[in-house]
Amino acid sequence: MRFGNTRSGRAAAEPSQRQLRVGEVIRHALASLLERGEARDPQLAGVPITVTEVSISPDLGNATAYVMPLGGSNAEEVLDSLRRAAPFFRRRIGGIVTLKRLPELSFALDSRFDTADRIGELLRTPSVAADLRPSSEQATEKQAIPRDDP
């Protein structure tokens, strides 16, 4: 028996095709509910919220929705409101999505936006920007290659 692998030979951390499909269906349903403003929480009223991903546990019993309010303003307050409204969203998703067993729903802030901003800042630093510029030797090689353009 190999440890850390599933029967199909995939690494245990890699989600199955079923997990990905269920997560995407739940993401679409949740985004639709949020877009229509169906939660009657004043903290969520008029706040555009992006649902970037819904991650499903291997047993399909738990789902974590990664969200971020537009612009990242009041993210913690919005997250608290979503967590309070999780049972409401789960019931509403159950009416939209046909699953044998609907997973428990939890919410978390998506930190990928912050990570992308940090990477962008690093790429704009002078030391990294100098490494990203093509050298004069590479530039002349590119000019010497004939093009097929008319």
Domain tally, the chain: 1
Is 127 domain-assigned? no
The arithmetic mean of pLDDT across residues 48-59, rounded, is 89
For residue 104, being part of any structural domain is answered with yes
* 136 lies in some domain: no
Q: What confidence tens digit (pLDDT) does each residue in 97-142 have?
A: 888 888 999 999 887 766 777 778 777 787 777 777 666 545 555 5
- Token output for 116: 């992308």
Of residues 73, 28, 64, 65, the one with CA closest to residue 46: 73
Give the pLDDT confidence score for residue 1 in this predicted structure: 34
Does residue 34 fall inside a structural domain? yes
Answer whether residue 61 is part of any domain: yes
Q: List the beta strands (DSSP E) in the chain.
A: 49-56, 62-69, 104-109
- Amino acid letter at 62? N
Is 66 within 8 Å of 51 (Cβ atoms)? yes
How does residue 37 score in pLDDT terms, banded at 50, 70 and 90? confident
**104-109 β-sheet, strand order:** 49-56, 62-69, 104-109
Residue 128 resides in a domain:
no
Range of the domain at 54: 17-110
The answer to the question of residue 98 being in a domain is: yes
Residue environment code for 25-36, b if the CB has 16+ CB neighbours within 10 A, otherwise e: bbbebbbebbee
Report the C-alpha gap between 79 and 58 in whole angstroms.
24
Residue 118: exposure state from Cβ atoms within 10 A (0-12, 13-18, ≥19): exposed
Q: In CATH, what number is assigned to the domain containing residue 100?
A: 3.30.300.20
Which string of b and e fits 135-149 if b means at least 16 CB within 10 Å?
eeeeeeeeeeeeeee
Residue 62 forms part of a structural domain: yes
